Amino acid sequence: MAAAAPPPPPSEAHIFLPETTPPGDTLFTRIRLATAADVPHIHKLIHQMAVFERLTHLCEATPESLSATLFPPSAPPPFTSFTVLMLELSPAPFAPPAAADPHFTPILKPVHLDLPIDDSDRADFTSNAPDVLVHDVVIGGFVLFFPNYSTFLAKPGFYIEDIFVRECYRRKGLGRLLLTAVAAQAAKMGYGRVEWVVLDWNVNAIRFYEQMGAKILPEWRICRLTGDELQAFGRINLG
* 83-90 vs 155-165, strand pairing mode: unpaired
CB 179 within 8 Å of CB 160: yes
Residue ranges in 143-162 that form contacts with a copy of itself under rule CB under 8 A: 144, 146-157, 159, 161-162
Binding flags for a copy of itself, 71-110, as an x/- string (CB under 8 A): -----x---xxx----------------------x-xxx-
As a whole number of angstroms, the distance between CA 229 and CA 42 comes to 29
Q: How far is CA 200 from the centre of its chain?
A: 22
List the 138-150 sheet strands across, edge first.
107-112, 26-33, 83-90, 138-150, 155-165
Nearest to 169 by CA among 118, 106, 124, 209: 118
17 binds a copy of itself (CB under 8 A): no
54 binds a copy of itself (CB under 8 A): no
In terms of residues, how long is the chain?
A: 239
Looking at beta carbons only, is 113 or 212 nearer to a copy of itself? 212
What are the residues whose beta carbons fall under 8 Å from the beta carbon of 201, sequence distance 6 or more?
none
The interface region with a copy of itself, picked from 87-95, 111-119, 126-134, 177-185 by CB under 8 A, is 177-185
Q: From the list 69, 92, 124, 135, which residue makes contact with a copy of itself (rule: CB under 8 A)?
A: 69
Question: What b/e string do you get for 218-236 counting C-beta neighbours within 10 Å, with b at 16 or more?
Answer: eeeeeeeeeeeeeeeeeee
* 26-33 vs 138-150, strand pairing mode: unpaired
Q: From the list 9, 22, 73, 234, which residue makes contact with a copy of itself (rule: CB under 8 A)?
A: 234
Residue ranges in 207-226 that form contacts with a copy of itself under rule CB under 8 A: 209, 212-226
Query: How big is the CA angle at 131 (ends 116 and 13), to the nearest 5 degrees?
Result: 70
Least CB distance to a copy of itself at residue 104 (A): 11
Q: Is residue 209 flagged as an active site residue?
A: yes
With contacts defined by CB under 8 A, how many residues of the chain interact with a copy of itself? 83
Least CB distance to a copy of itself at residue 22 (A): 26
Q: From the list 58, 98, 100, 133, which residue makes contact with a copy of itself (rule: CB under 8 A)?
A: 58
Least CB distance to a copy of itself at residue 102 (A): 16
61 binds a copy of itself (CB under 8 A): yes
Nearest to 52 by CA among 162, 211, 176: 162
Residue ranges in 179-198 that form contacts with a copy of itself under rule CB under 8 A: 180-181, 183-184, 186-188, 191-198
Least CB distance to a copy of itself at residue 238 (A): 5
Looking at beta carbons only, is 4 or 40 nearer to a copy of itself? 40
- Which residues does the annotation mark as catalytic? 209
